[in-house]
Amino acid sequence: MARQPARDDPQDLVLVEHPASRRGPDGAALDPPEPLPGVALVTLNRPRALNALSFGLLLRLAEAVEALDADPGCRAIVLTGAGTRAFAAGADVAELAAQDAASLAAAPGFRGWDRVAAVATPTIAAVRGYALGGGAELAMACDMIVAGDDATFGQPEINLGIIPGAGGTQRLARAIGKARAMELVLTGRRVAAAEAERLGLVTRVVPAGEALAAALDLAAAVAAQPVEAVRAAVEAVRAAAEVPLAAGLDVERGLFRGLFGTPDQVEGMAAFLDRRPPRWRAPGPPAGAADGAS
């Protein structure tokens, strides 16, 4: 029987937990729950379709991540897939098959990947199982990827008579180099977690069941850092993948200078000189550190 588009409840396509609870090595929330201040968990929730990214899901994902980005209490976002089999097995092929060039250009969900990549809050993908096609592109749109050792990455679009359309040719080439990206895009070959780590595609690989816990712990460590410096660092490192070196160095210099005089810079340096731990400001509205003004 031909594959049919799955019918989903739009409310449940994306789940948000903020603050997220710390997970144990089995991925389950601790009992009693231990909230991680400043950390949000966003779950792609179509496990029966391996979390395939329908336009409806992409729209809700973009809205959820943007709402968290606008919340001063959210300082790091972890993105994961429901279940153990997939982060996301790509765009929803049943839905994609019915499109033409004009309908794709008009589909608001099609911008979901860009909208996730554009948030100022640092993002971490926690990947178990398949991250294929648009799923791999979504993971790569995040700032970091924590992979379980059962993770599989790939750009299989060539097998469907198309090419990656949500950053896969660009972000993959920047992450692992042109020659390697070319092979994966032209053949659709899938790479397992260990190879993805060797290629520099992922931040780290952990035992499969620990991927979410490790991503949340990493997010908590980031959320505990001074917020303006974190946002400036995110903006500067992202620029490395987007602009030529001289322009990136200018971005860095502007952001660096812009942090001087912020309460956390004053506190951080005073604490070092006083030989005491710094007391960072409580989360609040992000100030203009990311303006690059200097």
Radius of gyration of the chain (CA): 20
**How far, in Å, CA of 203 to CA of 231, rounded?**
19
Assess 20 for contact with ligand HXC (CB under 6 A).
Answer: no
Q: Is 130 in the site for ligand HXC (CB under 6 A)?
A: yes
Bridge-based pairing of strands 204-206 and 76-81 is unpaired
117 and 94 Cβ atoms separated by less than 8 Å:
no
Q: How far is the CB of 64 from ligand HXC (least distance, A)?
A: 19
Q: Count residues binding ligand HXC (CB under 6 A).
A: 21
Q: Which of 134, 148, 154, 167 is catalytic?
A: 134
Q: Which of 15, 67, 94, 120 binds ligand HXC (CB under 6 A)?
A: 94
Establish whether the linkage from the previous residue to 32 is cis, with ω within 30° of 0.
yes
Q: 44 pairs with which residues across the strands?
A: 14, 81
Using rule CB under 6 A, residue 166 touches ligand HXC: yes
Cα 197 to chain center, whole Å? 16
CB nearer to ligand HXC: pick between 111 and 238: 111
Q: Is 91 among the residues known to form the active site? A: yes
Sites for ligand HXC among residues 175-194 (CB under 6 A): none
Is beta strand 152-154 parallel, antiparallel or unpaired with respect to 39-44? Answer: unpaired
Q: Decide if residue 133 touches ligand HXC (CB under 6 A).
A: yes
Hey, is 155 helix, strand or coil?
Answer: coil
Contact flag: residue 52 with ligand HXC (CB under 6 A): yes
By CB under 6 A, name the binding residues for ligand HXC.
3, 49-50, 52, 89-94, 110, 130, 132-134, 156-157, 160, 164-166
Residues marked as catalytic: 91, 134, 137, 157
